[in-house]
């Protein structure tokens, strides 16, 4: 089977539309993962044993459950409890929730890597707890883990085709639709692979630059 460039030009706009959905789902899911992961981390450091242990088990449960199962649960099971979500919304929540368990561990490692002297200095200065975290601990902790968090963004982007399972027509979904309509999959699936490689390589270069930048601090 030879490559048909005219056919490629015809379906390319559909794939770019799917790529837009993929990017939207990845970016919004990633922002949710960053925010929720920080919440998990702070709750896990709670002086209340019940809160900290419950959070620990929640994180472990999320990490131990496949992303696809979580997506199915959010999209297909939540309606049984009266909560019906659109495919894209369910996908964003699923991606964000799944990766929040991993970003939580990254935050935890960054916080634990903050020198003990920094904690002691905040006590000596009698800083309010909010300022301790906002002005001293978190800026140092997050700076140390930016490269790792960037790697999770790339991983989430590559996991986005799983959203097709809950009817989100993202990049791979768009290619599948094109292929089923024409019974020709060579060009659309190949282009999808190339787009994933292109975006992932560019993102990897950015992450490596961040690693070199923050390694100097």
Q: Residues with Cβ < 8 Å from 212, sequence gap 6 or more?
A: none
Query: Taking phi first (over 0 means left), then psi (-120 to 50 degrees means alpha), and beta for anything else, what does residue 126 get?
Result: left
User: Between vectors from CA 95 to CA 25 and to CA 174, what angle results, nearest 5°?
Assistant: 45
Does pLDDT of 216 surpass 60?
no
- Please give the Cα distance from 204 to 182 (Å, whole number): 34
Kindly tell me the burial class for residue 170, based on how many C-beta atoms sit within 10 Å of its own C-beta (0-12, 13-18, 19 or more). Answer: buried
Model confidence at 203, pLDDT cuts 50, 70, 90, reads confident
Does pLDDT of 210 surpass 80?
no
Express as a percent the part of the chain with pLDDT over 70: 96
123 phi and psi angles, rounded to 5 deg: -70, -45
Neighbours of 202 (CB within 10 A): 11
The number of residues in the chain equals 217
DSSP of 172-200: HHHHHHHHHHHT--HHHHHHHHHHHHHHH
- Please give the Cα distance from 101 to 23 (Å, whole number): 21
| pLDDT tens by residue, 156-187 | 999 999 999 999 999 999 999 999 998 899 99
| pTM assigned to the model | 0.89
Outline where the chain has alpha helix (H): 5-44, 49-64, 67-72, 87-112, 116-124, 129-131, 138-159, 171-182, 186-215
Model confidence at 11, pLDDT cuts 50, 70, 90, reads very high
Model confidence at 215, pLDDT cuts 50, 70, 90, reads low
Q: What does the block give as tokens for 26?
A: 């990845």
Model confidence at 1, pLDDT cuts 50, 70, 90, reads low
Does pLDDT of 135 surpass 90?
no
pLDDT for res 213: 72
């Amino acid at each position: 089977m030879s490559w048909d460039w005219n056919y490629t030009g015809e379906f390319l706009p559909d794939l770019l539309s799917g790529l837009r959905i993929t990017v939207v789902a990845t970016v919004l899911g990633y922002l949710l993962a960053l925010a929720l992961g920080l919440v998990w981390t702070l709750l896990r450091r709670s002086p209340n044993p019940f809160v900290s242990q419950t959070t620990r088990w929640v994180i472990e449960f999320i990490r131990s459950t496949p992303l696809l199962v979580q997506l199915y649960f959010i999209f297909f099971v939540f309606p049984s409890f009266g909560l019906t979500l659109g495919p894209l919304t369910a996908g964003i929540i699923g991606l964000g929730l799944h990766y929040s368990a991993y970003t939580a561990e990254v935050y935890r490692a960054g916080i634990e890597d903050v020198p003990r002297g920094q904690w002691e200095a905040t006590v000596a200065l009698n800083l309010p707890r909010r300022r301790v975290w906002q002005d001293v601990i978190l800026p140092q902790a997050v700076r140390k883990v930016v490269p790792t968090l960037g790697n999770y963004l790339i991983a989430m982007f590559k996991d986005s085709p799983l959203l097709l399972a809950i009817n989100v027509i993202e990049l791979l979904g768009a290619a599948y639709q094109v292929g089923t309509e024409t019974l020709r999959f060579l060009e659309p699936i190949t282009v999808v692979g190339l787009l994933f490689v292109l975006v992932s390589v560019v993102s990897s270069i950015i992450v490596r630059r961040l690693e070199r930048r923050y390694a100097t601090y």
